[in-house]
Amino acid sequence: MTAQPVTFWAAGRDKPMPDIRLTQVSRVFGAFKAVDDITTVFPEGTVTCLLGPSGCGKTTLMRMIAGLETPTHGSIKFGERDVTELPPGKRDVAMVFQYPVMYRTLNVIENIELPLRRDRSLSAAEIRRRADEVLDVLQLTGERRRRIGDLDIGTRQRVAVGRAIARQCDVILFDEPTTNVEVHAKLALIRAFKEFRARLRQTVIYVTHDQTEAMTLADQIALMQSGRISQCAPPHVMYDRPESRFGGWFLGNPGMNFLTPRTRDGRLLQFDALPCAIAVPADADGELSLGIRPEHIDVLHEPAADTVPARITRSSITIGGQHLLSLAVGEARLKAKTAPGEPPKDGSTVFIRCPLEHTVLFNDGLRLHETVARAG
């Protein structure tokens, strides 16, 4: 994007954005470890999406960064500043919640200006200028005089975003802000978010269970499972090179296929869905499985090099008119996607190829850092 940086930002801020440093952070509720010994750094000026299923600890982690929850162990720093014991008001964070918290009887511009008025160092002209720029970035200029109570929840949520960014805090936290927003307003909100990111570089933590949102908005995704971060990486890396079976399964619609070996003979693995054997890497001592994404399986109507026959057990139409096929190959069950067109017949036989360059070998659920190679 080529949008100009917002002027108040360029003029008003000279200190750099802080990163967020977590050191051995845990939060225990009774016997339940909601967050379990996380040590990581979320880089300054970037968007980190905390992604994971219900109960993975993502909201608890965000609440500790906000100061709404105190860690049972560990420390949280914004840059060099230790904020572990500070209340939310002293941390220089802004928050956008699932339900926009706002003054319903005030209008849009008043809601955005209100938190700025508490800062005595800002002149009235400066407050107005910031508010106007934020309205412009979020395409809310037309709604400036409308009362919050008269707006739909999606627009209200955009005002909440505007209020958060106008404060110029070091850190902005988003807690599933699109959860209660209908689909069109959600797109407007995502677009507004992208727009403001193109112009302002605050450090953002964004909590979501929606993989599409995370893939769309994040500079890096911190994928969480059972209170831990299982992988933290840019979206395409997370998608293409998942460090764990969990990551391969969680991202993707549907997630990755996992094949278990039919036989293991010394250093050779045989899979139902592969015509050739795979060499077992030297460091593989656990339970092995081979992952491949549905879109990487070639589905052909005639046998060809490296194909094996597969039976279509079920099919449905999916994203963009593609066909989502459930396939049976020996004991293996796979999902594959094929291009829009003539629907395949359930029960018919096709020939599938799983290109090895698109496969990932997992050892006890964790990716082996070797390329998958044909044996011999």
Task: Kindly state the smallest distance separating residue 345's Cβ from other proteins, in Å.
Answer: 10
Interaction pattern, residues 180-199, with other proteins; x per rule: CB under 8 A = -------x--xx--xx--x-
Sign of the torsion angle spanned by Cα atoms 192, 198, 202, 206:
positive
Closer CB to other proteins, residue 89 or residue 321? Answer: 321
Q: Is 340 in the site for other proteins (CB under 8 A)?
A: yes
Task: Kindly state the smallest distance separating residue 206's Cβ from other proteins, in Å.
Answer: 14
Instruction: Indicate the burial class of 276 (C-beta count within 10 angstroms; 0-12, 13-18, 19 or more).
Output: middle
User: What is the three-class DSSP state of 238?
Assistant: helix
**Cα–Cα dist 154/31, whole Å:** 38
Task: Kindly state the smallest distance separating residue 245's Cβ from other proteins, in Å.
Answer: 13
By CB under 8 A, name the one of 66, 76, 137, 251 that touches other proteins.
251
> Considering just the CA atoms, what is the radius of gyration of the chain in Å?
25
Which residues from 120-159 bind other proteins, rule CB under 8 A? none
CB-side neighbour CA atoms (13 Å) of 89:
3
Q: Is 237 in the site for other proteins (CB under 8 A)?
A: no
Which residues from 274-313 bind other proteins, rule CB under 8 A? 293-295
User: What is the three-class DSSP state of 122?
Assistant: coil
> What is the Cα 347 distance to its own chain's centre?
37
Among residues 167, 197, 192, the alpha carbon closest in space to that of 178 is found at: 192
Closer CB to other proteins, residue 107 or residue 220? Answer: 220
Residue 268, φ and ψ in degrees, nearest 5: -115, 135
Q: Is 219 in the site for other proteins (CB under 8 A)?
A: no
By CB under 8 A, name the one of 174, 206, 250, 362 that touches other proteins.
250
Among residues 169, 192, 232, 194, the alpha carbon closest in space to that of 22 is found at: 232
Q: Is 235 in the site for other proteins (CB under 8 A)?
A: yes
Size of the site for other proteins (CB under 8 A): 43
Closer CB to other proteins, residue 167 or residue 323? Answer: 323
Closer CB to other proteins, residue 20 or residue 204? Answer: 204
Closer CB to other proteins, residue 39 or residue 139? Answer: 139
Task: Kindly state the smallest distance separating residue 317's Cβ from other proteins, in Å.
Answer: 5
**Cα–Cα dist 56/34, whole Å:** 7
Q: Is 54 in the site for other proteins (CB under 8 A)?
A: yes
Task: Kindly state the smallest distance separating residue 170's Cβ from other proteins, in Å.
Answer: 26
Quick one: residue 330, left, alpha or beta (phi over 0 = left, psi -120 to 50 = alpha)?
A: left
Q: Is 2 in the site for other proteins (CB under 8 A)?
A: yes
- The order of strands in the sheet holding 47-51 is 93-96, 171-175, 203-208, 47-51, 220-225, 228-233
Residues engaged in binding other proteins (CB under 8 A): 1-3, 53-55, 187, 190-191, 194-195, 198, 209-212, 215-216, 235-236, 239, 249-255, 293-295, 314, 316-322, 324, 337, 340, 343
